[in-house]
Structure 1
Amino acid sequence: MKRVIITIIVVVGVLALIGWVLSNNKKENEAKTAVVAETGGAIVVKAAKVNRQPITLDFSANGTFAANQDLTLLSEVSGRVTRILVKEGARVSRGQVLAVVDPEILSLDKQAAEDALQKLKTDYERYKSSFETGGVTRAQLDDIELQLRNAEVKLQQANRRVQDANIKSPINGIINRRDIEVGAYLSPGTELFEIVDLSQLKLKVSANENQVVNLKLGDKVAITSSVFPDKEFNGTVSFIAAKADNTLNYPIEITVDNNTSVQLKAGMYGTANFRFPQQEPTILIPRGAFVGGVNSNRIYVLDADSTARTREVVAGRILGEQVEILRGLEEGETVITSGQINLVDGAKVEAQLDSTADSQSQVSTSN
C-alpha cells in the first residue's frame, strides 16, 4: 500500500513539472510573438553608425633581463690548481689570468715532444741523403716525413696545453660563481667559473601578430623597471623571431646599454614601451559584423527604409575586436553588428543601436 502511494505521488509530481514547463514555454512564445507583432514582423538586430576612429599602435610588453653573455668556463687541461687569482664578484677583462694549473707535468710533456721532433728532423735529413744515393726507398722516406709532421703536431698540442695551464677569461665580465679551490685536480670539462657580461642586457619580451608587423630591427624602445620606477632606459630591437612560439606570439629581444649610474641586473623584470607615430583615423567596424568571419568580407548595411542589404567590403588590419575597412563602406552608414544569422538580402529589420560599438572612439593594438 505504501509503495502505491509513493508511486502516485511521484506520478503527480512529474505531471505537475511537465505542466509547469509547458506553461513557461507558452509564455516565452507569447513574448516572442508580441515582439514580432510590435515590429510588424521585422527581425530585431543591433546596428552601429560607421565613423572614423583614431588608431593607437603603442603597446607595452613585460619580460626579464638577460645578460649579454653568460659563460660557464670549462677546463681544457688536466692538472692540480696551484693558484686562483680572482674572487667572486670581481670584474675581469678578456685574456686576464684567472687561475693557474701546476705546469710541471705539462712542461715535461712539451720537452718530450721537442726532443722527439729534434730526433725526427735528424733522421729525416739522414734518410733524405740516403734516398739520393739509393740507400733507402721512396716509401721509407715518405714514412719518416709522416712521422716528422706528426711530431710537429704533437709539439703544437703540448705548447697549447702549457699555455692553457694559465686559465684566462675569454670575455669581459664579472665572476658570478667560482667552482674550484686551490689543490683541486682538474680534468678536461671541469667547470671553473661562471662569467657574466652585464655591460649590455637583453630584455626578452613577446608580441602578437598585430604588434610584431609594426616592428623592425633597430627600433628604439623605452624601457622601465619596477625596481627603478623613476628611471627610463634606452633599448634597441636586436632580434625579432621569424616564427611564432606555441602561444602564437613572436619572441623579441631588446638590447639595453647598462653603463649608467643605475645598474640593472640579469633576472630583473622590465617593461618595453613601444611607441609609434600617431595614425590617421580610419573606418573601423566590430568583428562580429562580418557574416561567417572576417575572411568572408561580407557584411549587412542598413538602408534608410530599415532594409538589410548585403555589402562586399575589403578588410584591412584586425585590431583587437575591431576591423579596419579599406573599401566598400562610407562614414555615416549604418552597419548591422548582431543578428545577421537570421537575415537575407532585403529583409526588413528593427535596428537597436549598439551603444558599445558606437561609443568606441579609440582602438589600440595592445592585448
Structure 2
Amino acid sequence: MKQIKKYAGIGIIIAIVALGILQLVNNKKRLDNELQAMQQYSMVVPVEVITPERQGFSQQVTENGVLTSGAEVTILSETSGKVLSVNGNIGDKVYTGQTLVTVEKELAESQFQLAKTNLKHAEKDLARYDNLAGGEAVTQQQLEAVKLKYKDAQTQFTASKKQLENTTIRSPISGIIASRSVEKGSYLLPSVPVFTIVEQDRMVFTVNMAEEDVLALGTERKAGVFIDAFPEKSLTGNIRGISTVPDLSGRYKVEMELNNPGNILRAGMSGKAVFASDTDNEGLVIPRKCVVGSVRDGKVFIVHGDTVISKQVKARTLNEAEVLVAEGITETDRIVLSGQINLEDGSKIRILNVSP
C-alpha cells in the first residue's frame, strides 16, 4: 500500500511538471506570434498622399540678396604737403564739390604765379614774332622756336594750375563718409587715401539667380525688394545689369537699382527680391515638401500598390510652398506628402488620408 502511494505521488509530480512545461511552450508561442505581428506592423509606414494638379500660374521667383551703395569712391591725394584742415567725419553727409581737406599751398601758389607770368611773356613774344614773320624780318626757324617756347609755357601753366587746385580736396559725389584716413597737421603724400564716400540716395540690391529664372524674367525688368530690417516696406528695384558669366554654382548675378527714401537703407543690409514673370503658364504643381532633397535635383515617392517607389524629378520653385514639376511624374500618380523620412524603395505603407 505504501508502494502504491509512493508511485501515485511521483505521477502527480510528473503531471504537474508536464502541465507547467506545456504552459510555458504555449506562452512562448503566443509571445512569438505577438512579436512577429508587431514587427510586421512596424514595417508599415503611415503616410499622407496627394495627386499633382495641372494648373495655370504666373512664375514667381524669390531670391535672397544684399544691399550695396550705388557708388563707392575712395578719394586719393594728388598733392603733398602739411594738412591745414579736415572737414567731415564718418557718417556725415557731404555734397558734390564740398571741400574736405586743404593742404598748404604757398609753393604751389608761387609756381602757378611764375607759370602765369611766363605764359604772358610767351604770348607777347609769339605775337611779336608773328608780325615780324609777315615782313620776313625773322626766319622760319626763329618763329618755330618761339612757338615751341609758348607751348612749353602753356604746359607749365596748366600743370601748376592743377597742382594748386589739388591742394584743396573736394568730394566728387554726394553721399555719406564711410571712412576717413587723414588728420589735421599730418603730412600728405600723393596717392594716399583720405576719404571714402558712398552714395546713399541710390542703392543697389544684388542677387544670384539660376539660369532658367534669369531667362524667365519679365519684360518690365523690375522686382519687388523687401529689406529684412524694414519688412513692412515694399521697394521697387529696376534691373540695371545681369552678368553673362555664371559663378561656380552656375548662377548669374542680377543687380537692381532702387531709391533710398529718407536715407534709411544702409550698405550690407540683407533682404529678398521677388520677380514675377509677365507670361501665364500651365504645368503639374505639387507642394514643396513632397520633394526630398533640392528642388532642382530631388526625388519624390510614388505609391505603387501597398509600397512606394522613388522617382527623380526636375522641378522649379513657384513660391515658398509650391513647385512646378517638368519631368518625373504624371497627373495620375499618388505622391507621398508626409512620412518620407522613413521611406525607401519598396517600403510598405499605410495611407492615412483619402487620396484626391
Query: Structures share a fold, TM > 0.5?
Result: yes
Q: Which residue of 1 aligns with 2:225?
A: 223
Displacement of 1:71 after TM fit? 0.7
Q: Which has the larger radius of gyration?
A: 2
The SS at the match of 1:215 is coil
Q: Which residue of 2 aligns with 1:101?
A: 103
Displacement of 1:89 after TM fit? 1.8
2-structure distance, mates of 1:220, 1:132: 68
- Structure 1 unaligned residues grouped into runs of 5+: 1-47, 286-316, 326-330, 336-354, 362-367
1-structure distance, mates of 2:219, 2:240: 6
207 and 170 in structure 1: CA distance in 2 versus 1, 3 angstrom threshold: same
1-structure distance, mates of 2:52, 2:180: 66
Q: Which residue of 1 aligns with 2:256?
A: 254
Displacement of 1:324 after TM fit? 4.7
Displacement of 1:200 after TM fit? 1.7
Displacement of 1:49 after TM fit? 9.0
Q: Which residue of 2 aligns with 1:234?
A: 236
2-structure distance, mates of 1:141, 1:128: 7
The SS at the match of 1:279 is strand
Matches within 5 A, 1:162-181: 162-181=164-183
1:217–1:237 Cα contact (<8 Å) kept: no
218 and 90 in structure 1: CA distance in 2 versus 1, 3 angstrom threshold: farther
1-structure distance, mates of 2:58, 2:136: 90
Matches within 5 A, 1:293-332: 319=316, 324=326
2-structure distance, mates of 1:63, 1:92: 28
Describe the superposition over 1:116-148 as per-residue Cα deviations: whole angstroms up to 9, x where unpaired: 212323333443454445443212211210210
Displacement of 1:72 after TM fit? 0.4
Describe the superposition over 1:194-226 as per-residue Cα deviations: whole angstroms up to 9, x where unpaired: 111111211110110121112157533222222
1:267 matched to 2:268? The reply is yes
1:60 matched to 2:80? The reply is no
1-structure distance, mates of 2:249, 2:277: 25
Bigger drift between 109-118 and 229-238 goes to 229-238
Give the letter aligned to residue 212 of structure 2: N
2-structure distance, mates of 1:284, 1:271: 23
323 and 141 in structure 1: CA distance in 2 versus 1, 3 angstrom threshold: same
2-structure distance, mates of 1:271, 1:284: 23
Q: Which residue of 2 aligns with 1:296?
A: none
2:58–2:276 Cα contact (<8 Å) kept: no
Pairing partner for 1:86 from 75, 85, 88: 88
Displacement of 1:163 after TM fit? 2.3
Matches within 5 A, 1:11-50: none
Q: Which residue of 2 aligns with 1:200?
A: 202
Among all aligned residue pairs of Structure 1 and Structure 2, give the percentage whose two residues are the same amino acid.
Answer: 28
Paired residues, what number?
258
The SS at the match of 2:231 is strand
- Structure 2 unaligned residues grouped into runs of 5+: 1-49, 287-313, 318-322, 334-350
Q: Which residue of 2 aligns with 1:149?
A: 151
Q: Which residue of 2 aligns with 1:364?
A: none
1-structure distance, mates of 2:199, 2:180: 15
2-structure distance, mates of 1:98, 1:191: 13
Describe the superposition over 1:16-49 as per-residue Cα deviations: whole angstroms up to 9, x where unpaired: xxxxxxxxxxxxxxxxxxxxxxxxxxxxxxxx99
TM-score of the superposed pair, with normalisation by structure 1: 0.61
2:219–2:278 Cα contact (<8 Å) kept: no
Describe the superposition over 1:78-122 as per-residue Cα deviations: whole angstroms up to 9, x where unpaired: 222111122222111101111211121111011110122123233
